[in-house]
Amino acid sequence: MMLAGVVLYGIGLWNIFPTLSDRGYYVALLVLGLFPVAVYWHLVQHQCLSAVMNSWCRLTLLTAMGLLAVGLWNEPIPWQLKLMYVISWAMSLTGMAFYCRASGSVKS
């Protein structure tokens, strides 16, 4: 699921945005979104999740969501493509969470 989201996100970036700076912005947002998910699951695995780290992960994820929303709001592309980017970004994050959960690193 994560791979499908990343591939869809990357294909859309390559076809729509001609400049390297636009592509880099959206790739950075993808990485900024995936990082707190991986950190959160790593902390859960080692049972050292604190309220402060949980807040930092949420803040980083909300920042990435806000930057994605602002970036897509200002892009002159059809709303269907904007929706596709949001869905593929969310699918990548969900896939990362499923991957971390299924990798056996979290003991429920």
Dihedral pair phi/psi, residue 61, rounded to 5°: -65, -40
Residues 6+ apart with CB under 8 A from 93: 5, 33, 34, 37, 61
Would the pLDDT of 60 be above 90?
A: yes
Side chain identity at residue 92, one-letter code = S
DSSP 3-state assignment of 28? Answer: helix
Query: What letter would DSSP give residue 47?
Result: T
Closest of 90, 100, 91 to residue 65, by C-alpha:
90
> What are the pLDDT digits (tens) for 35-56?
999 898 888 888 888 889 989 9
User: Across all residues in the chain, what is the average pLDDT?
Assistant: 86
> What are the pLDDT digits (tens) for 23-33?
888 889 999 99
Would the pLDDT of 12 be above 60?
A: yes
